[in-house]
Structure 1
Amino acid sequence: MKNTFPGGEWPTMLTPFTKEGAVDYKALEKLVEWYLQNGVSGLFAVCQSSEMFQLSLEERVGVAEFVRKKAAGRVPVIASGHISDAIEDQAAELTEMSKTGVDAVILITNRLAKEKESDEVWLSNLKELLRRIPEDVPLGFYECPYPYKRVMSKETVSWCAKAGRFFFLKDTCCDIDRIREKLEMIKGTNLKLYNANTSTLLESLRLGAAGYSGVMANFQPKLYAWLCENYRSETADKLSDELSICSLIERQLYPVNAKYNLLLEGLPVETVCRVKNSADLTPTFQKEVQMLHRITERMNKEHR
């Protein structure tokens, strides 16, 4: 298998729901188009931002297949969705996801070992999982923060890079020294690193990271696409500073606030979520998102 994944911005996609709480495929279609119009390089269709731990397997597979079909021929689509504890159940979930035709199936690092278990246990479970899923399926990793964050070590990154089967690493360590180590481990291999953290993003791009895959692509996609393309520009440092401060909105009521931002963008998206109560988006929180939206509009004009 050869890595054809482009560098750039890969949004961690939201899942729109109807007022009744079902997946809203009409809104999802509009959302796919919004990402593409804002210059993304690929789409991460089923992840924590998608509320995957609250989606049934049928819904996870349905969302991934829908996004893959809508984006076909324009950008690649990846998806995760193995949320079970037992390896045999995870293998079944991943095999079903692979049937959707997505460009890669992404493994959740914390699913491969318990929080206090060693890298040796993690690697043993990974090898067992690989034996149980189709050999021709391109794979990647996501250091998902829920239910606990399992950041890959130099040793596990090195093994996976040498295996040749892994192409995408969504890094959430938020530590530029650890990112630098990982980039050294994957140099010259199929594996590419996509940083989820804004404050370390610019430096990581200059060190060789392939791009960005994070929450703020649901608020400021055009700006992150610009930064990934122009990270050596003289104005990149200023933009990076501004984006880092803007990214503090992540600490508010995500993903409810991101869906509210999409409403401000004119998308027919309800603020309904399964992981948070949309009623908790207070008038003050709404004002903060409105302010960010106005700031983003001004910044977009500066970086056309």
Structure 2
Amino acid sequence: MNLPTSSEPRGPARAGGAKIVTGVVPPVCTPLTPEREVDVRSLLRLVDHLVSAGVHGLFVLGSTSEAAYLTDRQRALVVETVAGHLGGRLPLIAGAIDMTTPRVLDHVTAVTAAGADAVVVTAPFYTRTHPAEIARHYRLVAAASPVPVLAYDIPVAVHTKLPADLVLELAAEGVLAGLKDSSGDLAGFRRVVTGLHAHPGASGFSVLTGSEVLVDAALALGADGAVPGLANVDPHGYVRLHTLCRAGDWHRARAEQERLCDLFGLVGVGAPTRMGGSSSGLGAFKAALHLRGVIDCPATAEPQVPLSPDEVEQVGKFLAAAGLL
């Protein structure tokens, strides 16, 4: 792999210390009003819903937060609201997601000023990039960021898979403080986890799975935690799953994971016949939170297609089957 030379920008050494985040870290939904403004009161209730379940950190401005749909003003409001309400009780990581390095750096400045403890950054997208450019992107961001930087591997959205050797190289250098892996590539995830053993300087690197349905498998492989969107709906279930895995009670952990896998079926109530997977999944999460009394309105950002009453009813059936209604 062609990586930038040692004369190119590198971030401050962040590896080798305490991990920035471990455990269950829900990617927090962004409740909206019917007018598609951030519903601050519902957002605060959602944060309380998650914290009271015993989660270990929060992630805002990711895919589940609908960050791609929010204006810069709305993004800042989300981080300020959550950071102010948490008051440092839990680590808060925030997405600084955009197409190119200069735009990402603007977001890093905004979210850290608003109170984020770390930032999550994808590879550049829209433009066609080379691994050397991806590595340079992360080095430039880390060099300018006042907080640790985690890589976000989500090829379905950015059309680039982060190679395991690139992630390991940047982890060993201290450029990256962690990885949120939403690639669905469990073998690649394993290469990162096992590869860290060869890099003792990366002992502070957090490896997190973004999968709702493979958390037990990822933790068995050595993951530090999980960032499952479904944890908005059932945070207690994911905290319970994490506790069982850490205790080595794999039989009960498997049963809990399978219950959550069944519940995860709610993301398909509208797709692919009427809407895209994003509209269906995010709409289902918000419908579930509305049905559970956590948020006031299940609206998703435009131009996503809203769920129909019949689809919302299906979401309710999934909740009931999981013992959540």
1:226 maps to 2:240: yes
Aligned partners of 1:182 and 1:127: how far apart in 2?
A: 19
- 1:194 aligns with 208
Q: Give the letter aligned to residue 192 of structure 1.
A: S
**How many Å apart are 1:22 and its aligned residue?**
1.0
Q: What whole-Å deviation, never above 9, does each CA across 1:80-99 have from its counterpart, x for those lacking one?
A: 1332x342222122122221
Aligned partners of 1:6 and 1:129: how far apart in 2?
A: 19
**Of 161, 168, 172, the match for 1:151:** 161
What is the TM-score with the length of structure 1 in the denominator?
0.88
Distance of aligned partners of 1:28 and 1:103 in 2 relative to their CA distance in 1, 3 Å threshold = same
- 1:96 aligns with 110
Q: Give the letter aligned to residue 116 of structure 2.
A: V
Q: Give the letter aligned to residue 166 of structure 1.
A: L
Uncovered stretches (5+) of structure 2, i.e. residues with no partner = 1-13, 270-279
- 2:142 aligns with 130
Q: Give the letter aligned to residue 175 of structure 1.
A: D
Q: Give the letter aligned to residue 148 of structure 2.
A: P
CA RMSD of the aligned region, Å?
A: 2.2
**How many Å apart are 1:282 and its aligned residue?**
2.1
Percent identity of equivalent pairs: 22
Contact 1:105/1:140, CA 8 A, preserved across alignment: yes
Contact 1:216/1:250, CA 8 A, preserved across alignment: no
What is the TM-score with the length of structure 2 in the denominator?
0.83
Q: Give the letter aligned to residue 268 of structure 1.
A: I
**How many Å apart are 1:269 and its aligned residue?**
2.5
Q: Give the letter aligned to residue 251 of structure 1.
A: G
Aligned partners of 2:296 and 2:18: how far apart in 1?
A: 34
- 2:9 aligns with none
- 2:20 aligns with 5
Q: How many residues are aligned here?
A: 293
SS at match of 2:45: helix
1:87 maps to 2:104: no
1:239 maps to 2:266: no
- 1:250 aligns with 267
Q: What whole-Å deviation, never above 9, does each CA across 1:97-143 have from its counterpart, x for those lacking one?
A: 2212211011123x2x5575321221123333334x23x32111222
Contact 1:68/1:102, CA 8 A, preserved across alignment: yes
Contact 1:9/1:211, CA 8 A, preserved across alignment: yes
Distance of aligned partners of 1:194 and 1:276 in 2 relative to their CA distance in 1, 3 Å threshold = farther
1:18 maps to 2:33: yes
Contact 2:19/2:206, CA 8 A, preserved across alignment: no
Uncovered stretches (5+) of structure 1, i.e. residues with no partner = none
Q: What whole-Å deviation, never above 9, does each CA across 1:14-63 have from its counterpart, x for those lacking one?
A: 11111221111111111110111122111001111111111122221221
- 1:260 aligns with 287
